[in-house]
Amino acid sequence: MTDDLIEETRRVWSQGYRRVITVEEAVEILANVKNAAEAFMNAASEGQNE
């Protein structure tokens, strides 16, 4: 997770929230997106094995 990615996340999500989000919030958002993507990929691979 780079500083640039965190800053881009803050810029994009701050617009959606209509307030400036903190670095901590941006890190949490990025972690949640990563976890969700991993869950979807795991579910998709399990579906292919059936």
The 10s digit of each residue's pLDDT in 1-50 is 999 999 999 999 999 999 999 999 999 999 999 999 999 999 988 777 66
**9 Cβ contact partners less than 8 Å away, ≥ 6 residues apart:** 26, 29, 30
pLDDT of residue 29: 98
SS3 category, 18: coil
Q: Are 12 and 33 in contact (CB under 8 A)?
A: no
Q: pTM of the entire structure?
A: 0.81
CA pair distance 37, 22, nearest whole angstrom: 23
Give the separation between CA 39 and CA 9, rounded to whole angstroms. Answer: 21
Determine the Cα–Cα distance for residues 36 and 11; give it in Å rounded to an integer. 21
What is the structure's pLDDT at 44?
Answer: 87
pLDDT for res 14? 98
**pLDDT value for 45:** 84
